[in-house]
Structure 1
Amino acid sequence: MNKTIALISEHASPLAMLGGVDSGGQNIYVGELARQLAALGYAIDVFTRRDDPKLPIGVQWLSNVRIIHVDAGPPKQLSKESLFQYMDAFTESMEAFMARQPKRYALLHANFWMSGYVAMKLKERLGVPFVITFHALGKVRLMHQRENDKFPEERCDVEAQVMQAADGIIAECPQDEADLTQLYRADPDKITMVPCGFSPHEFHPIDKAYARMLLDMHPTRKIILQLGRMVPRKGIDTVIQALTQLRKESIDAQLVIVGGEYEKPHLHADLEYRRLMEMATELGVADAVSFEGRKNREQLKYFYAAADVFVSTPWYEPFGITPLEAMACGTPVIGAKVGGIQYSVANGKTGFLVRPKDPQALARKLELVLKSEDLQLYLRQNAIKRVNECFTWKKVAQQMDEVYRRLTAEQLDVKDDDKRIIATAFLEAADTFRLSADSLTDAILRAGNMLAKAFEKGGKVLVCGNGGSAAESLHFSAELLGRFEMPNRVGLPVISLMADQAMLTAWSNDIGFNDVFARQVEAYGRPDDVLMCLSTSGNSPNLLEAMEKAKQLGMVCLTLLGKDGGQAAVRGDINLIVPSSSTQRIQELHLHIIHLLCTIVERRLVNYSVRRQAATLSSSLVQAVDLSVSQNGNPKPDYVKQKSDIFG
């Protein structure tokens, strides 16, 4: 299969500094899609307009991704509203570049309506099929911007022509799909819904106190974050107005605003910043509003993590990537019920949705979230789960790969398909390990220390699981009953409840499988022993019954789980929940965690063997002396004192 693809993005280059009026979500979309497609074996050229005479024609951005700077109009920064007049020149320059390439492009992927115009013309001339992601639609923009819309009048007509000519159309969310079919009468058979995404490498949970320390933020004050381009339609004024309502409710909150053209906002140069500052001053909340200016991508995760809640309340939004990034960092989102935000934010589960331009409704939801730490925790857990299951750039690229393959009417041969499966599995495993390292390190330390203390007190560990987890339970017991890394240590009392096959088969056949583990817990368990349960779902009835019995006996319950933890997470004293919905990835991490627990236990019990051997030797000596005394008469007083001193 020819996997050479041209991404066209006339005004939004992956190399551009984000945060400006014309740089934001589309830049990220194009760059991350190119990156992930390259990981799937594609060779990607991104065509964008040269806006600086110093830029070379081509930049090798990644090993399989080039950025091609196309001559179209003066090589300087221009507003995107003024670029359409240069799109014929863009088409000619791009066609000339394509003619010099040794390999024909299999497909063009246009981003935005002007790039769609270029792709349409190239299809007419060269016969190369194209797919388009509009990112925003002219008719929707006109509804909200009206006379403030500065794009050419012919935009909507060009969009309709592009939809007719396109081989495929990407809708980013259900609202986008509805707008395409209802406002433009686009062919539904051409439309595929593929959302935007986020990168787990960039955005993941970080300790809030640590993030605030790095950013020099108040450690306990409630922080509301707004992050994005500094333009009126983003609705930052709505958040400032809502802040006045919170102040009336005696909520000590600070609004942190990140974004804009400059690293430090300028009153004279940035009209939107000046307007918002004047509004905050008039409303009496200027002391609670902080404008942080433009920040680089490496800094953004700390702002997301430092916030108690992220707010995104634009008038309209084709999709909106920042809510995904916030949720990936574990920050609840209150968003406007528009465009893609109403699709990505699960109302009541990962955050809340409110009407745009409604500061009272926003204030009520902010008050609800800021006053309840339990609600924040609930929203945090659901947010992390949702975005990692539905909205990673890797998943976006996989869905786009299916679109490309269908449009080019080619299928990967078996060898290529197997390679793709293997590469995807490695990427998924790496992401799961990285996310687990961020979210589980402290809990694994607590679990290891708890196991070590149980052994030190003479307790034991009972471990159980089903299927693949059953094998891992046997593995864990073998590592500690035998040895893991430390030679010549005593065996540690770990019993796998899967080991007694006679009990399992007889009991499950005669009585039932639900309490095959609970029965053994009842027989072997003692107060302060540990029951360790492994499950990918956390909802297996036999594990839940065993945990119930362990609780009745005063045992400690340790769980290794996945997905959302299921019912077992409610019963567990320490829960190690792998942040993945894939059974394979969860079990891989469980084995890794088992090895980490073995390491911690052995490190904590480095002197355990010596103490046990000393105790055994001392006990033997006492028994020998006692026997001698019993045979030879009453002990001498100094012996009685010595025995008491040594053995208490």
Structure 2
Amino acid sequence: MNFKTERRIALISVHGDPAIEFGKEEAGGQNVYVRNVGEALARLGWQVDMYTRRVSAAQDEIVQHMPNCRTIRFSAGPLEFVPRDELFGYLPEFVEKFLKFQQENGLTYELVHTNYWLSSWVGMQLKKKIGCKQVHTYHSLGAVKYATIDQKDIPPIAANRLDVECQLLETAERVVATSPQEKAHMRQLVSTKGNIDIIPCGTDIQRFGSVGRDEARAALKIDSDAKLVLYVGRFDPRKGIETLVRALRESKFYSDEKLRVIIGGGSVPGQSDGIERDRIEAIVDELGLRSITTFAGRLSQEVLPTYYAAADICVVPSHYEPFGLVAIEAMASGTPVIASDVGGLQFTVVPEQTGLLAPPQDVPAFASCIDRILENPEWRAKLGEAAKIRVRKKFSWDGVAEQLSELYIKLTEQPVPVPVPVPIPVPATATATASVTVTEKELATA
């Protein structure tokens, strides 16, 4: 796609730095999404600027990824890592830095694509100040998240988040849902107003699937006849790693000397990621799984395809996922997936065809799924092949970027509507804890 005139897009991801090493604290699916969408858009001819928050003096302020695609970092608040639930108060400074950078560099953005609710607040301010249009991807919904955790664990910022997410859906030119299930949640739990398109996340189909099973196992020094179960992702209670390890204890293969488990993910001592890893390791010791379990640490994008290819099964036991990038990365590698029957995982994993689904946090159900696949190698291979075919047909980054590009062009060619004043929550030093009324039953039926 060659544009006659320059088309420039700003991708805003305040807390998810697209230039950071994937797998570290706060580096998950959102970082992967923004970085890969940005690079794929650049290949289509867009000038792509990805804006995020700088968390260290050692970080470069501008990272050039490829021609026409760069990450721009702003210092907003202390120059250190700040958990996402504590970032709201620093967003006005982020907006100021954005406007200053835009002015100093002579940049014009007809449209911004914001990611996660924090960035959506930034985008709504920019709409008022520079008259741009806004596309948004939620990555997760507060109404869904808060329905899956104890009331006592709901953060003080929750009320602001729910307000912002509702106003965003009702005022953005377009919201991008990554699955039909996520769109249904928006409609039932957020608002019946607003415009929603479904454009899935993608994966690098050249990278994942490039390594064969035997080659992968040889590289990782894993026996060819091992029964290997893999988890990849952050250490976070909502990722359901505890469900996986308890399911392995209940599996009929628990006493099989060939059973091996790899838990791959970054950890930062003293932060939430490291604290959860310590908790999971304690459970592994309690269940007598230490001798068969490897905590592989952060898996770089260079080695990750090898781990996926080596595994018999990749398990995604999350309490909720709006999409689930790990699932399609594993499937692209020819590895069947056992996932929680929630959110976007219901869209990416086809039960009995590319893997299996189980109720979230249901240990016996996950154990049964693990047993079904491990005890039937021929079926496992058939599931893996079907998984690879599904990903190649539906989930490539270039295909995702093509759909987004078409959406952007369509929106920029439409006249700018007369704005209707809408009160947007303003960051304060303290907010009251939200009273979240969405129930587990409502979530399950969304």
TM-score bin (small chain):
0.7 to 0.9
The residue number in structure 2 matching 1:531 is none
| Matching residue's letter, 1:4 | R
Candidates 179, 182, 198, aligned match of 1:193: 198
Q: Structure 1 residues 309 and 98 mapped into 2: Cα distance closer, same or farther (>3 Å)?
A: same
- CA distance in 2 between counterparts of 1:268 and 1:337 reads 25
> Which one has a larger percent helix, Structure 1 or Structure 2?
1
Q: Structure 1 residues 241 and 56 mapped into 2: Cα distance closer, same or farther (>3 Å)?
A: closer
| Matching residue's letter, 2:240 | G
The 5-angstrom pairing of residues 318-467 of structure 1 reads 318-409=322-413
| Matching residue's letter, 2:162 | C
The residue number in structure 2 matching 1:216 is 221
Candidates 250, 261, 264, aligned match of 1:245: 250
The residue number in structure 1 matching 2:92 is 88
1:15-42 CA distance string (max 9 Å, x none): 1122234111000000000010001110
1:221-267 CA distance string (max 9 Å, x none): 100000100111111111111111224675441111000225xx899
**3-state SS of the aligned residue for 2:251?**
helix
Q: Does 1:184 align with 2:202?
A: no
| Matching residue's letter, 2:373 | V
Q: Structure 1 residues 278 and 372 mapped into 2: Cα distance closer, same or farther (>3 Å)?
A: same
If asked which structure has higher relative contact order (CA below 8 Å, sep 6+), I would say: 2
**3-state SS of the aligned residue for 2:330?**
helix
- CA distance in 2 between counterparts of 1:82 and 1:340 reads 27
Candidates 253, 256, 279, aligned match of 2:283: 279
The residue number in structure 2 matching 1:29 is 33
Q: 170-179 or 13-22: which moved more?
A: 13-22
- CA distance in 2 between counterparts of 1:170 and 1:178 reads 12
| Matching residue's letter, 1:245 | E
The residue number in structure 2 matching 1:155 is 161
- CA distance in 1 between counterparts of 2:148 and 2:273 reads 25
Alignment identity in percent? 36
**3-state SS of the aligned residue for 1:154?**
helix
1:517-570 CA distance string (max 9 Å, x none): xxxxxxxxxxxxxxxxxxxxxxxxxxxxxxxxxxxxxxxxxxxxxxxxxxxxxx
1:401-450 CA distance string (max 9 Å, x none): 12111211269xxxxxxxxxxxxxxxxxxxxxxxxxxxxxxxxxxxxxxx
- CA distance in 1 between counterparts of 2:272 and 2:24 reads 16
Q: Does 1:270 align with 2:297?
A: no
Displacement of 1:119:
0.7
1:451-499 CA distance string (max 9 Å, x none): xxxxxxxxxxxxxxxxxxxxxxxxxxxxxxxxxxxxxxxxxxxxxxxxx
User: Does structure 2 retain, via aligned residues, the 8 Å contact 1:350–1:379?
Assistant: yes
The 5-angstrom pairing of residues 516-595 of structure 1 reads none
The 5-angstrom pairing of residues 249-260 of structure 1 reads 250-251=255-256, 252-260=258-266
Q: Does 1:102 align with 2:106?
A: yes
User: Does structure 2 retain, via aligned residues, the 8 Å contact 1:170–1:191?
Assistant: yes
1:77-127 CA distance string (max 9 Å, x none): 111111110001101110111123334112100001111101100101111
The residue number in structure 2 matching 1:470 is none
The 5-angstrom pairing of residues 48-63 of structure 1 reads 48-63=52-67
1:345-370 CA distance string (max 9 Å, x none): 01111001111111111111111111
Q: Structure 1 residues 410 and 37 mapped into 2: Cα distance closer, same or farther (>3 Å)?
A: farther
Candidates 232, 235, 240, aligned match of 1:235: 240
| Matching residue's letter, 2:313 | V
Candidates 124, 131, 137, aligned match of 1:133: 137
User: Does structure 2 retain, via aligned residues, the 8 Å contact 1:266–1:273?
Assistant: no
Q: Which runs of 5+ in 2 are unaligned?
A: 416-446
Calculate the TM-score normalised by the size of structure 1: 0.61
Q: Structure 1 residues 89 and 68 mapped into 2: Cα distance closer, same or farther (>3 Å)?
A: same
User: Does structure 1 retain, via aligned residues, the 8 Å contact 2:309–2:333?
Assistant: yes
- CA distance in 1 between counterparts of 2:63 and 2:317 reads 37
| Matching residue's letter, 2:354 | T
Q: Structure 1 residues 248 and 225 mapped into 2: Cα distance closer, same or farther (>3 Å)?
A: closer
Q: Structure 1 residues 249 and 85 mapped into 2: Cα distance closer, same or farther (>3 Å)?
A: closer
Over alpha carbons, which structure has the higher Rg? Answer: 1
- CA distance in 1 between counterparts of 2:328 and 2:68 reads 27
**3-state SS of the aligned residue for 1:270?**
helix
The residue number in structure 1 matching 2:442 is none
Q: Structure 1 residues 97 and 268 mapped into 2: Cα distance closer, same or farther (>3 Å)?
A: closer
- CA distance in 2 between counterparts of 1:355 and 1:54 reads 43
- CA distance in 1 between counterparts of 2:168 and 2:254 reads 51
Q: Structure 1 residues 267 and 90 mapped into 2: Cα distance closer, same or farther (>3 Å)?
A: closer
**3-state SS of the aligned residue for 1:311?**
strand
Q: Structure 1 residues 91 and 269 mapped into 2: Cα distance closer, same or farther (>3 Å)?
A: closer
The residue number in structure 2 matching 1:291 is 295
User: Does structure 1 retain, via aligned residues, the 8 Å contact 2:114–2:137?
Assistant: yes
The residue number in structure 2 matching 1:64 is 68
Q: Structure 1 residues 63 and 205 mapped into 2: Cα distance closer, same or farther (>3 Å)?
A: closer
- CA distance in 2 between counterparts of 1:281 and 1:8 reads 42
Q: Which runs of 5+ in 1 are unaligned?
A: 412-648
- CA distance in 1 between counterparts of 2:286 and 2:106 reads 63
Displacement of 1:76:
1.4
User: Does structure 2 retain, via aligned residues, the 8 Å contact 1:6–1:44?
Assistant: yes
| Matching residue's letter, 1:232 | P
**3-state SS of the aligned residue for 2:72?**
strand
- CA distance in 1 between counterparts of 2:28 and 2:62 reads 22
The residue number in structure 2 matching 1:173 is 179
User: Does structure 1 retain, via aligned residues, the 8 Å contact 2:266–2:273?
Assistant: no
TM-align CA RMSD:
2.0
**3-state SS of the aligned residue for 1:298?**
coil
- CA distance in 2 between counterparts of 1:260 and 1:364 reads 28
Q: Structure 1 residues 266 and 204 mapped into 2: Cα distance closer, same or farther (>3 Å)?
A: farther
- CA distance in 2 between counterparts of 1:147 and 1:328 reads 39
The residue number in structure 2 matching 1:615 is none
Candidates 212, 221, 225, aligned match of 1:207: 212
| Matching residue's letter, 1:345 | V
Aligned residues: 408
Calculate the TM-score normalised by the size of structure 2: 0.87
The residue number in structure 2 matching 1:44 is 48
